[in-house]
Amino acid sequence: TEPQQKKELTEIKFGYQPSTHQIAYLTAKDKGMWNTSLAPLGIVKTSDNLFPSGAPEMTAMLSGDLDVAYVGAAPFISALSEGLDAKIVAAVQVQGSDLVVRTGVPYEKPEDLKGLKIATFPPGTIQDTLLRNWLKTNNIDPDRDVTILPMTSADAVTAISAGQVDAVFLPHPSPTEIKEKGYGRTVIQSGEIMPNHACCVVVVSGDLIKNHPEVVKQIVKTHVDATEYNNAHPDEAAQIYAADQQMNITIVQHSINEWDGTWVSDPHLIVNSTVDYANIQYELGYIKKPLTEKDIFDMSFYDSLQN
């Protein structure tokens, strides 16, 4: 039945999240790159779903509702350990989260964080893992010396604005927003904590990889092109994002100017941090089996483009 399946593939379903990290997807969509590049392969339709966080996106992929997902590496790893059949085929971006301390709370050095309430994404996310590791390396016990509160970015911004938490560790554009409103200041960027740490990635379902490698290759190529276009035209990227999200363009632009993140597509850049990350998760008991580079990545598509 496999060849039959091949013939039937006419639609590609994407998933993405509202984040400046993933503008590459939007740029490609805005410029019609997905449709033009995939049409010759028999794809007559591309559709997408917008997810507020990675967990439902991965659930949707598990149930076969998505072919391609722009998603954080963390939810992907935990879904992978629970039996998701998919691989990372390209990176989307590295770095790009800030530790923001509330206005009026003094901060000179990491020790100053002792006794404070810090909001970040829930356990298992890149942000939570990075923050905890960084605190540990600075001799701060993340469980005793500080209170880490798991929140969504929206709740965390509300909480710091209302003075309910003292610091937040969040991906962009939230840090810029907090700063623009005058509620806090960035004290450290995630690139300083772990250079080139993985964040968002392109995940493709195992089915597509096995049965339609040529389509996957074209998807990776389009992603690489869009990423390059964004890096060359950051203002236009900001505009595309602001339009899609009906967001204030200046905040987006400021965010893109200030962050330490980089839009990349080369998956090799993030291999080490991702595998490290998976190991930490395994040690914490968050995932049930150790994962290797082979389990997580399929670089063949990206590599074949380079030759």
Partner 1 sequence: MIKKIIHAVKSRAVETISIVSALLLWQMTADLIVRNKFFLPSVLDVISAALMIVQRPSVLEIGALAIEIPVVLVDLLQSLLHFSIGMVAALFVGIPVGMIMGWFTTLNRVLDPIIEMLRPIPPLAWIPFAIIWLGLTPVSAGFLIFIGAVFPIIINTFTGLKNVPRIYVEAAKVLGCRQDRDLIRYVALPSALPSIAAGIRIAMGVGWMCLVAAEMFGVSKYGLGFKIWHHYHLHQMDLVLVYMMVLGLLGLLIDKTLRYVIDEHLLKWQAGVVR
| 283 lines the binding site for partner 1 (CB under 8 A) | no
Interface with partner 1 by CB under 8 A: which range of 146-154, 193-201, 211-219, 264-272?
Answer: 146-154
DSSP state of 121: S
Q: Among 32-40, 158-166, 194-202, 212-220, which window interacts with partner 1 (CB under 8 A)?
A: 158-166
What minimum distance in Å lies between the beta carbon of 15 and partner 1? 7
- Using rule CB under 8 A, residue 67 touches partner 1: no
CA distances from 46 to 38, 42, 43, 138 (A): 9, 11, 7, 47
Tokens 């996957």 locate to: 216
What is the rounded CA–CA span in Å between residue 121 and residue 118?
10
Residue 229 binding partner 1, by CB under 8 A: no
Could you tell me which of 46, 74, 49 has the C-alpha nearest to residue 61? 49
Residues 10-29 that bind partner 1 (CB under 8 A): 15, 18
Q: Which residue is associated with the tokens 């990889």?
A: 209
Q: Using CA atoms, how far apart are residues 154 and 229, in angstroms rounded to an integer?
A: 29
Q: Kindly tell me which residue out of 89, 119, 194, 204 binds partner 1, with binding defined by CB under 8 A.
A: 119
Query: In angstroms, rounded to a whole number, what is the distance separating the alpha carbons of residues 97 and 100?
Result: 9
Verify binding: residue 232, partner 1, rule CB under 8 A: no
3-state secondary structure at position 108: coil
Q: How far apart are the C-alpha atoms of 161 and 1, rounded to whole Å?
A: 57
Terminal Cα-to-Cα distance of the chain (whole angstroms): 33
In the block, tokens 């005058």 appear at 182
Residue 182 interacting with partner 1 (CB under 8 A) = no
**Among the candidate windows 24-32, 133-141, 155-163, 264-272, which touches partner 1 by CB under 8 A?**
155-163
Q: Which is nearer to partner 1, 93 or 153 (CB)?
A: 153
3-state helix, strand, coil in the chain (%, to 5): 50, 20, 30
Nearer Cβ to partner 1, position 65 or 192?
65
Least distance in Å: CB of 169 to partner 1? 13
Q: Which is nearer to partner 1, 43 or 55 (CB)?
A: 55
What is the edge-to-edge ordering of all strands in the sheet holding 147-150? 147-150, 117-120, 167-171, 97-102, 184-189
By CB under 8 A, residue 296 contacts partner 1: no
Contacts with partner 1: how many residues (CB under 8 A)?
53
Residue 279 touches partner 1, criterion: CB under 8 A = no
* Given 150, 211, 213, 282, the residue binding partner 1 (CB under 8 A): 150
CB 259 within 8 A of CB 172: yes
Does residue 81 bind partner 1 (CB under 8 A)? yes
Instruction: Between 110 and 123, name the residue whose CB sits nearer to partner 1.
Output: 123
The full length of the chain comes to 307
Contact with partner 1 (CB under 8 A) among 73, 79, 216, 240: 79
Task: Please tell me whether residue 151 binds partner 1 under the rule CB under 8 A.
Answer: yes
Residues that bind partner 1 (CB under 8 A): 15, 18, 49-60, 62-63, 65, 75, 78-79, 81-84, 117, 119, 122-125, 147, 149-159, 161-162, 164-165, 177, 181, 245-247, 286-287
